[in-house]
Amino acid sequence: MSEDTETLAELMLHADQFCSKVEDAAKDVAPSPEERELRAKIGQCRTQLAYLQEVFNEGKLSMENPSVRADFRQLVIALLWIAFYARGAIDFRIYRMLVRIEAGFTYLLVSR
């Protein structure tokens, strides 16, 4: 397994953990008008992660694959929207996880 594939797989794991932590944190706050959008974006992220997992299982998860780059870009954008909609529920540690995911993806793009 190449280094970029390993990093992408790790980013996928962190993205899944981010979604789970946001879901848990959102349960502890009062319902907001943006809750529906938050749930939709979390669902979108889970769908993207399931697709990327299939690509990984097929051995095609690589930064050289344009489809993988596009799907990761969409995943990162959806994660940013999740942070926006859950801004009242997430703490610094959860937000820092998002920053690490985005920074890791950006590093892979730049070093490509």
Candidates 32, 111, 40, 23; CA nearest to 15 is 23
Residues of the chain with pLDDT > 90, as a percent, come to: 82
Asked if 55 contacts 61 with a C-beta cutoff of 8 angstroms, the reply is yes
Domains in the chain: ranges and CATH: 3-111 (1.20.120.230)
pLDDT single digits (tens) 16-52: 999 999 999 988 777 778 888 999 999 999 999 999 9
pLDDT single digits (tens) 49-107: 999 999 999 999 999 999 999 999 999 999 999 999 999 889 999 999 999 999 999 99
Asked if 108 contacts 8 with a C-beta cutoff of 8 angstroms, the reply is yes
